[in-house]
Chain A
Amino acid sequence: MIDFTTYQALTQLYADYAAAIDSEDWDQWVSLFSEECEYKVQPRENYERGFPLCTLALISRAMLKDRVYGITETLFHDPYYQRHVVGLPRILKVEGDVIEAEANYAVFRTKLSQESTVFSVGRYLDRLRKTPEGLKFESRLCIYDTEMIPNSIIYPI
């Protein structure tokens, strides 16, 4: 069990994360991770079969910034909005300053003048650390059920 203040900080971080990417505030997205961190988007089949390949495997905050550069400067794509709905976090483990938790997510994609569709559903598997700057993601794995990607993933999940 964790105290309510910590739990509140955790749910706030999850909400801030969804708000940052849904509003395309990429600097804010990067700021939610610690310097030494990993962010991976992986199909469930690879995760469950022990295959290491990820659809995205960013292994430092610097690499997250490279992804932001790709999103904002180099990747051509059809414009779209995304909207995250994140379930309540389930605490898996607490050890000192580190919390392990998971939460279900659903992402809807809406292209300009088109209907909203289910873009990706899955589970966040997280390791969070208490730092002087507040709670940060040390690791966020997005293990997605929607293994057949509707063309491409540009923005972070």
Chain B
Amino acid sequence: MRNNPSVFPVDPAWEGTGTSRIPFWAYTDPAIYKRELDRLFYNKHWCYVGLEAEVPNPGDFKRTVVGERSVIMTRTEDGTIHVVENVCAHRGMQFCRERHGNKKELVCPYHQWNYTLKGDLQGVPFRRGVKQDGKVVGGMPKDFKVEDHGLTKLKVATRGGVVFASFDHEIESLEDFMGPEIIKYFDRLFNGRQLKILGYNRQRIPGNWKLMQENIKDPYHPGLLHTWFVTYGLWRADNKSELKMDARHRHAAMISTRNNAKVKSEEVTAGVTSFKESMQVNDPRLLDIVQEDWWGGPTAVMMTLFPSVIFQQQVNSVSTRHIQPNGNGSFDFVWTHFAFEDDTPEMVQRRLIQANLFGPAGFVSADDGEVIELSQFGFEQKPAHRAVAELGGTEVGDTDHMVTETLIRGMYEYWREAMGV
């Protein structure tokens, strides 16, 4: 009697040097995930923490995460931005519970240790003991120095109103981290104009965090899964488009120009079940797209900055999407929609209405979360198996079309190197 090989990998190892066949255990193995946190989120990578516009005034703070670690972004009296870890230096309590607010100092309620907004310890109750019956009892040891017991400080970099942080103080500059090609697209969106926060959407997606990076490095699915994109020509396989990466293939930009709305094409719409010729929006305001000068041509640029964030410009809707992993099989996805200070009220309203396409209930984004959840189900049931990402071949490189999975292969080339897998 012959048995099937086990569906559970023994000593998971990635065969060969290629990156087009991704083992399912890359998404299901808790040990791999812990290594990702250490190597990708806590060292050598700038992670997104927020927008300067979220903390406009001195004393403003926002609680967020880097990887799984809770951090607080603050703006101090001198106007600078600081990021500190939300863990008290005394007994380790994750003391800050508000999600945002304004404070003069950070205080842990457990024993009232208090810190400046930069994370320096400034007060310890009973440090020099307490007078009792004419003598001083207790207190911290003579050699206790407040300088040695501040909150863990992160290195901070800001550009164009976007704030990044890293626990790794030896990290390369933000500009070197992004590389010249990606910076160009970053600066296109964050060109120094003041940002205006429109609000948040939050969703918990029961799938591995990398799947969201891959989703936005995958120009193959939008013209198939997302009917709205196809029918209105927002994203189609025959759109004029480019795919670009940084030199190390970890970050990417998918650049596309809208055309062909309602035009049938033998190759890209015939047989595509999601293309609905008869489709008409009842209320045209849903797709009331107005060209903006700063686009410089492309109608959509979707950027993935590895490992923590996605920057969206899809017609008039702009947002950041923060990936916050919690375990190997789940991540929180936090959307921050914004507008620009020089927007007319009509443009702000247009951005708000086009936001219906995106987010956890979006006409085009709701099903992204669904397919990610169901992909994770597939991985979990046979982790020794692998995915095939071979559209456009097995090589990695920039392209001037979108009929390829090159960006996913590029990300795994980098991932294998960084993870030693």
Contacts and interface: CB of A to CB of B under 8 A. Distances in A.
Contacts of B203: 148-152
Interface stretch (B20-28, B80-88, B355-363): B355-363
A152 B285 contact: no
Contacts of B283: 59-60, 62-63, 65-66
A54 B355 contact: yes
Main secondary structure of the interface of A (DSSP, over half): mixed
A66 B367 contact: no
B371 A55 contact: no
A46 B199 contact: yes
Contact of A70 (B200, B363, B369): B363
Contacts of A147: 200, 202
Contacts of B206: 151
A74 B228 contact: yes
A63 B371 CA distance: 26
Contact of A59 (B204, B353, B370): B353
A70 to B, nearest CB: 5
B352 A46 contact: no
Nearest to A155: B361
Contacts of A101: none
B63 to A, nearest CB: 12
A4 interface: no
A41 B215 CA distance: 25
B337 interface: yes
B200 A56 contact: no
Residue with the greatest number of chain B CB neighbours at <10 A, chosen from A65, A75, A148:
A75
B361 A63 contact: no
A149 B335 CA distance: 12
Contacts, number: 118
A43 to B, nearest CB: 7
A24 to B, nearest CB: 16
A78 B366 contact: no
Interface residues of A, number: 35
Given A53-B355, A78-B374, A151 B204 contact: yes
B281 interface: yes
A4 B206 CA distance: 47
Interface of B: 99-100, 197-206, 225-228, 274, 276, 279, 281-283, 285-286, 332, 337, 348, 352-353, 355-356, 359-361, 363, 366-367, 369-371, 373-374
Given A45-B199, A46-B200, A51-B197, 20 more contacts: A51-B198, A52-B198, A52-B348, A53-B200, A57-B352, A59-B283, A60-B285, A62-B283, A63-B282, A63-B283, A65-B283, A69-B279, A74-B226, A74-B363, A76-B370, A149-B204, A151-B203, A151-B206, A151-B370, A153-B361
> Which 3 A-B residue pairings sit nearest by Cβ, starting from the closest?
A53-B199, A51-B199, A62-B282
30 contacts: A43-B199, A45-B99, A46-B200, A49-B100, A51-B198, A51-B199, A51-B200, A52-B198, A52-B348, A53-B201, A53-B352, A54-B199, A55-B201, A55-B361, A56-B356, A73-B227, A74-B226, A74-B228, A74-B363, A75-B367, A76-B367, A78-B373, A147-B200, A149-B202, A151-B204, A151-B205, A151-B206, A151-B373, A152-B203, A152-B367
